[in-house]
């Protein structure tokens, strides 16, 4: 008997703890400090609650369940998630989530469904349900207060660098806090009217915190969500209580409804309200266009859970190139319902609509019966919040916490639908007793296996973050070793391989400049690092071939190794694949042209390669023309066009092109620098001097501009100024032997570059997956 009570207590309090922690939980040990950490917490506590529930069931010899038709669409959603995952373009990401969407994946949805069933089977009465809802509201209220304080610059966790930002909160964006508050405010209002004494004070405080979040963040969608919940609460509350005279609670919701309509219609902002960051997402029209494209290829199961970023990258409209968000890869769209249909196809869209439709149907049917008392009021509050969530899913892309709240409330609503539990005897020696024992062992084994594998993935993430810190602190080899340990623990994450390949590339440069190594040792270590860089880049592509970032990095790595036989073909094929995955972006077209430029440079000193070199430059111009067609003001494409014209011997045309590019991108110092270089090459020394001096006026320590300005002064015969400038460059680069030779030349009254081979670093633009 004691064991039964113990297991029952563990199961319930695991749920209570989970409900309290999810809206507040985060840890700074992984890349995703919010949702990934919440997923881990969800898995651990759900597993604990489930094991305790099954252990209690086996020991008691009976199973208490609530039967309702609502279970059918819930199971349907889980089944569709599984089918879509099986046919996903990246099965690993669709199953586990990270590094894709940690909310939209099979594992998370499966765990959410378990939360639904655990709440509906474990919570025994309205008193326990009230306690569960109270814990949820208090947690959400604390999250809302924390978010508002952050927006006002009051940082409660100043010892964490990531928390010292107004945009940081424990739920997601500021707008998601407003939506969450709008969803739960109707429930808080109804529970406060039914509570007594201290609990009433607590609930009023929570309601005030939630209302403050909605008002001060002032997000349009949140007002619509709140109005929806208040209308449901008022309509069904009045209907169910019309014969009982219990209308004392109506005045406040009515006042809030008027207030909400005022803010919604007039869009006023309260004086002193914090400036909430603008949240950007694709438009509904743009998302419909993506939906149409995806359904042509995968109409039944979609592209797979969590793969919206791939779909957006491949199918977004080129018209976005005219906005500042042209290079952004959105991980979600404008509507959760549309996101579901895109990633899980018609099957997924219908499954979600069936669940939401069943919820509304059974909720309306149940509330129409007019159940009174605390239980009836609690059911009304839960349904009002669920109805508000349905509206939120239509209007707004959901996140982990919003979905968690949905499944918790849905499980709680089963209590009002199904009433008392149905008891099924599992006492031995019945067949059901054997089945229940076997199920318990099966869940225990698979649960422990999941915890073990998940633990490995968590440690791998922590090691990756540690590797990034080591590299940023200048410890390249230690960073590589730490990242290798992450790869060994979890070789299925493409970002590990992607970054590892670039670290090996950095290692190539570091070894090449190490004067302490013998030539033979240097050559051997460089070759090993090159082999490792190539292998890691290829592995990233093999892990997730649908991710354009992997192809960009592979192209980048091989472009830096064009001296290796066959590297040029890998570069071209990589960027051609990138173009296939993101045809509307000018970036891959430009990078493909850059690869042709580098190929032409490697052919420059080869005999009988003039025709091949000219062909490479012409192909580069063709790709740049396509990039400019997609984005007329894309400065890198204009800049590289000038580079090709210069290599073709058309210096005047190249200068004219750079002048045109500078007009398009007046703040681009790279363009200004290259224009100055071309002026210098064309003997327009005064124009070159003006460009380099203008750059230094904006960035005093721009070493390349100082280096070129020193050459201009030297060519003008002004050795004193040349020496002054080169000395500044040498102070910034104390180990540079060329600068020491230049200063020695100037001290001896010789030309600065006598005996020195000048070099210029390339000016490039890189996407976020390529490190600097």
Which residues contact residue 83 at a Cβ distance below 8 angstroms, ignoring those fewer than 6 apart? 301, 347
- Distance CA(295)–CA(315), nearest Å, equals 11
Measured CA to CA in angstroms, residue 22 lies from 14, 153, 411 at distances of 12, 24, 16
Residue ranges covered by each domain of the chain: 2-85+101-270+296-418, 491-574, 667-772
- Distance CA(637)–CA(169), nearest Å, equals 39
* Locus of tokens 């219908």: 350
- Distance CA(618)–CA(624), nearest Å, equals 10
Q: What is the pLDDT of residue 648?
A: 86
> pLDDT by residue (tens digit) across 209-263?
999 999 999 999 999 999 999 999 888 776 655 544 455 567 788 889 998 999 8
- Distance CA(540)–CA(203), nearest Å, equals 51
Q: What is the pLDDT of residue 38?
A: 96
Burial class (CB in 10 A: 0-12, 13-18, 19+), 115: buried
Residue 501 has pLDDT above 90, yes or no: yes
* Locus of tokens 């609502």: 70
Is there a contact between 337 and 395 (Cβ–Cβ < 8 Å)? no
Cβ-count burial 742-752 (b if 16+ within 10 Å, e if not): bbebbeeeeeb
Give strand pairing partners of 138.
none
Cβ-count burial 464-480 (b if 16+ within 10 Å, e if not): bbbbbebbeeeebeebb
- Distance CA(671)–CA(679), nearest Å, equals 12
Residue 765 has pLDDT above 80, yes or no: no
Both tokens of 724, joined, read: 């002054």
The closest alpha carbon to 528, from 571, 472, 568, 477, belongs to: 477
* Locus of tokens 């968590």: 458
- Distance CA(267)–CA(275), nearest Å, equals 14
Q: What is the pLDDT of residue 658?
A: 83
Secondary structure (H, E, C), 139-174 = HHHHHHHHHHHHHCCCCCCCCCHHHCCCCCCCCCCH
Give strand pairing partners of 62.
425
Is there a contact between 638 and 670 (Cβ–Cβ < 8 Å)? no
Q: DSSP state, 278?
A: P
Q: What is the pLDDT of residue 763?
A: 37
Q: Tell me the backbone φ, ψ of residue 64, rounded to 5 degrees.
A: -100, 115
> pLDDT by residue (tens digit) across 38-68?
999 999 999 999 999 888 887 777 777 888 9
Which residues contact residue 112 at a Cβ distance below 8 angstroms, ignoring those fewer than 6 apart? 42, 403, 404, 407
Measured CA to CA in angstroms, residue 450 lies from 269, 305, 310, 487, 491 at distances of 48, 20, 27, 19, 17
Mean pLDDT taken over the chain: 88
Which residues contact residue 143 at a Cβ distance below 8 angstroms, ignoring those fewer than 6 apart? 23, 24, 169, 170, 171, 177, 180, 401
Q: DSSP state, 119?
A: H
The closest alpha carbon to 115, from 461, 315, 412, 317, belongs to: 412
3-state secondary structure of 701: coil
| Range with the poorest average pLDDT among 148-152, 374-378, 391-395, 730-734 | 374-378
Residue 764 has pLDDT above 50, yes or no: no
Both tokens of 45, joined, read: 């506590």
> pLDDT by residue (tens digit) across 449-500?
888 999 999 999 999 999 999 999 989 999 999 999 999 999 999 999 999 9
Measured CA to CA in angstroms, residue 616 lies from 572, 597, 623, 628, 690 at distances of 11, 7, 11, 18, 33
The closest alpha carbon to 349, from 285, 295, 405, 290, belongs to: 295
Q: What is the pLDDT of residue 461?
A: 94
The closest alpha carbon to 152, from 272, 268, 25, belongs to: 272
- Distance CA(500)–CA(481), nearest Å, equals 10
Both tokens of 485, joined, read: 């340990």
Query: Largest Cα–Cα distance in the chain?
Result: 106
Average pLDDT over residues 546-568: 86
The closest alpha carbon to 418, from 352, 357, 365, belongs to: 365
Q: DSSP state, 102?
A: S
Q: What is the pLDDT of residue 139?
A: 97
The number of beta carbons lying within 10 Å of the beta carbon of residue 158 is 9
Residue 79 has pLDDT above 50, yes or no: yes
- Distance CA(402)–CA(176), nearest Å, equals 8
Q: What is the pLDDT of residue 760?
A: 44
Q: Tell me the backbone φ, ψ of residue 246, rounded to 5 degrees.
A: -95, 70
Q: What is the pLDDT of residue 246?
A: 53
Both tokens of 456, joined, read: 């490995």
| Range with the poorest average pLDDT among 21-25, 247-251, 515-519 | 247-251
Q: What is the pLDDT of residue 762?
A: 39
Measured CA to CA in angstroms, residue 27 lies from 33, 108, 219 at distances of 5, 18, 27
Give strand pairing partners of 424.
63
The closest alpha carbon to 501, from 767, 100, 99, 769, belongs to: 769
Q: DSSP state, 582?
A: -
- Distance CA(80)–CA(350), nearest Å, equals 10
Which residues contact residue 512 at a Cβ distance below 8 angstroms, ignoring those fewer than 6 apart? 522, 526
- Distance CA(634)–CA(681), nearest Å, equals 25
The number of beta carbons lying within 10 Å of the beta carbon of residue 201 is 12
* pTM of the full structure: 0.88
> pLDDT by residue (tens digit) across 642-691?
889 888 888 888 888 888 888 877 888 878 888 888 888 888 989 988 98
**Check: CATH 3.40.50.700 for 667-772?**
no
Helices 586-603 and 635-647 pack at an angle, to 10 degrees, of 20
Helices 669-681 and 651-664 pack at an angle, to 10 degrees, of 160
> pLDDT by residue (tens digit) across 595-649?
898 888 887 777 777 888 889 899 999 999 999 999 988 888 888 888 898 888 8
| Strand (E) or helix (H) holding 503 | helix 494-512
712: preceding bond cis by omega (within 30 degrees): no
Strands 422-425 and 62-65: antiparallel
Q: How far apart are the first and last CA of the chain?
A: 64
Q: Annotate 318-344 with DSSP letters as a single string.
A: GGGGGSTTTT---SS-S-HHHHHHHHH
């Amino acid at each position: 008997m004691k064991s039964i009570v113990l297991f029952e207590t563990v199961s319930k309090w695991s749920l209570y703890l989970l409900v309290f922690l999810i809206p507040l939980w985060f840890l700074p040990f992984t890349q995703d400090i919010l949702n990934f950490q919440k997923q881990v917490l969800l898995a651990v506590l759900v597993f604990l609650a489930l094991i305790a529930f099954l252990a209690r069931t086996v020991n008691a010899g009976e199973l208490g369940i609530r039967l309702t038709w609502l279970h059918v669409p819930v199971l349907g959603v889980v089944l569709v998630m599984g089918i879509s995952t099986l046919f996903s373009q990246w099965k690993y990401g669709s199953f586990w989530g990270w590094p894709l969407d940690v909310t939209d994946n099979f594992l998370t949805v499966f765990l959410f469904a378990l939360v639904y069933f655990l709440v509906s089977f474990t919570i025994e009465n309205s008193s326990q349900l009230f306690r569960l809802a109270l814990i949820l509201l208090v947690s959400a209220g604390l999250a809302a207060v924390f978010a508002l304080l952050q927006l006002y610059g009051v940082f409660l966790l100043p010892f964490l660098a990531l928390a010292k930002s107004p945009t940081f909160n424990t739920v997601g964006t500021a707008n998601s806090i407003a939506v969450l508050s709008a969803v739960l405010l109707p429930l808080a209002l109804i529970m406060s009217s039914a509570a007594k004494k201290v609990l009433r004070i607590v609930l009023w405080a929570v309601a005030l915190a939630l209302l403050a979040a909605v008002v001060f963040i002032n997000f349009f969608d949140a007002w619509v969500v709140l109005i929806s919940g208040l209308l449901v609460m008022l309509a069904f509350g009045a209907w169910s209580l019309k014969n009982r005279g219990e209308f004392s609670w109506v005045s406040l919701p009515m006042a809030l409804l008027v207030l909400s309509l005022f803010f919604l219609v007039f869009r006023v902002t309260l004086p002193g309200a914090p400036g909430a960051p603008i949240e950007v997402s694709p438009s509904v029209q743009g998302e419909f266009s993506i939906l149409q494209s995806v359904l042509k290829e995968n109409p039944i199961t979609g592209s797979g859970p969590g793969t919206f970023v791939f779909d957006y990258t491949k199918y977004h409209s080129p018209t976005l190139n005219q906005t500042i968000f042209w290079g952004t890869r959105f991980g979600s769209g404008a509507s959760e319902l549309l996101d579901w249909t895109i990633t899980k196809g018609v099957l997924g869209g219908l499954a979600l609509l069936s669940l939401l439709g069943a919820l509304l149907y059974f909720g309306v049917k149940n509330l129409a019966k007019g159940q009174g008392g605390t239980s009836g009021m609690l059911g009304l509050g839960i349904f009002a919040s669920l109805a508000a969530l349905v509206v939120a899913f239509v209007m707004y892309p959901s996140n982990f916490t919003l979905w968690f709240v949905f499944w918790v409330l849905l499980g709680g609503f089963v209590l009002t639908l199904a009433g008392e539990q149905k008891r099924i005897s599992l006492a031995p020696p019945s067949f059901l007793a054997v089945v229940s024992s076997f199920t318990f062992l099966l869940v225990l084994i698979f649960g422990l296996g999941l915890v073990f594998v998940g633990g490995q993935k968590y440690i791998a993430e922590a090691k990756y973050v540690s590797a990034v810190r080591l590299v940023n602190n200048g410890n390249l080899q230690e960073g590589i070793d730490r990242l290798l340990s992450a790869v060994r623990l979890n070789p299925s994450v493409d970002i590990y391989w992607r970054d590892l390949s670039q670290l090996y590339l950095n290692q190539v440069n570091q070894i090449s400049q190490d004067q302490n190594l013998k030539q033979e040792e240097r050559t051997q270590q460089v070759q090993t690092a090159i082999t490792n860089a190539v292998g890691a880049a290829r592995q990233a592509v093999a892990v997730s071939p649908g991710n354009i970032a992997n192809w960009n990095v592979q192209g980048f790595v091989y472009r830096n190794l064009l001296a290796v036989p066959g590297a040029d073909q890998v570069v071209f094929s990589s960027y051609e694949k990138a173009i296939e995955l993101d045809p509307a972006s000018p970036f891959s077209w430009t990078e493909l042209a850059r690869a042709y430029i580098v190929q032409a440079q490697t052919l420059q000193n080869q005999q009988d390669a003039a025709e091949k070199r000219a062909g490479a430059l012409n192909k580069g111009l063709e790709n740049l023309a396509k990039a400019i067609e997609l984005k007329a003001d894309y400065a890198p494409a204009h800049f590289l066009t000038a580079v090709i014209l210069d290599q073709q011997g058309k210096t005047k045309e190249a200068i004219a092109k750079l002048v045109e590019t500078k007009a398009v991108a007046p703040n681009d110092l790279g363009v200004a620098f290259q224009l100055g270089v071309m002026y210098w090459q064309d003997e327009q020394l005064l124009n070159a001097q003006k460009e380099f001096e203008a750059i230094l006026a904006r960035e005093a320590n721009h070493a390349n501009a100082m280096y070129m300005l020193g050459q201009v002064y030297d060519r003008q015969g002004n050795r004193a100024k040349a020496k002054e400038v080169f000395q500044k460059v040498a102070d910034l680069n104390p180990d540079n032997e060329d600068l020491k030779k230049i200063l020695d030349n100037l001290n001896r009254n010789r030309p600065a570059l006598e005996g020195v081979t000048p070099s210029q670093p390339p000016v490039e633009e890189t996407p976020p997956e390529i490190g600097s």
